[in-house]
Amino acid sequence: METTTHLMTAEELIRLPDDGLRHELIKGQHLTMPPPSPEHGAVMTNVAVLLHQHVRAHHLGKVITGDAGFKLESDPDTVLGPDVAFIRQERIASISTQYFPGAPD
């Protein structure tokens, strides 16, 4: 007997309801993770603040937090949400309400 596994797409992932968990795709496989701990959040904030201060002072681009999605691969899709990400100024136009196309800088 053969079993077929459904690979999720980035479009299906973005339509999931907000359930308070983190969702990512690795080669179409859906991963669900609990929210980070308060200590993890504090470290993430410290990194983001320091990076943001440097990026803003030098007009380098944008710092993004909140596990924003980056679509790294297609067919099957890989979408990851880093804790903190940096996008160079010349790539800011690619930021949308969907997943960012490609990896952060």
Q: Does residue 76 belong to any structural domain of this protein?
A: yes
Q: Does residue 1 belong to any structural domain of this protein?
A: no
Domain count, the chain: 1
- Whichever domain contains 43, its CATH number is 3.90.1570.10
Q: Does residue 65 belong to any structural domain of this protein?
A: yes
Residue with the bigger pLDDT between 2 and 69: it is: 69
- Strand 70-73, strand 100-101: pairing: parallel
Q: Does residue 4 belong to any structural domain of this protein?
A: no
* 76: CB partners within 8 A, 6+ apart: 7, 9, 25, 27, 28, 29
Q: Where does the pLDDT of residue 5 fall: very low under 50, low under 70, confident under 90, or very high at 90 and above?
A: confident
Asked if residue 2 has pLDDT above 90, the reply is no
- Per-residue model confidence as pLDDT tens digits over 19-63: 989 999 999 999 999 988 999 999 999 999 999 999 999 999 999
Q: Does residue 79 belong to any structural domain of this protein?
A: yes
Local structure of residue 91 (DSSP, 8 states): G
- Strand 70-73, strand 78-80: pairing: antiparallel
Asked if residue 103 has pLDDT above 90, the reply is yes
Please state the rounded mean pLDDT for residues 82-103.
92
Q: Which domain holds residue 66?
A: 10-101
The model carries a pTM of 0.87
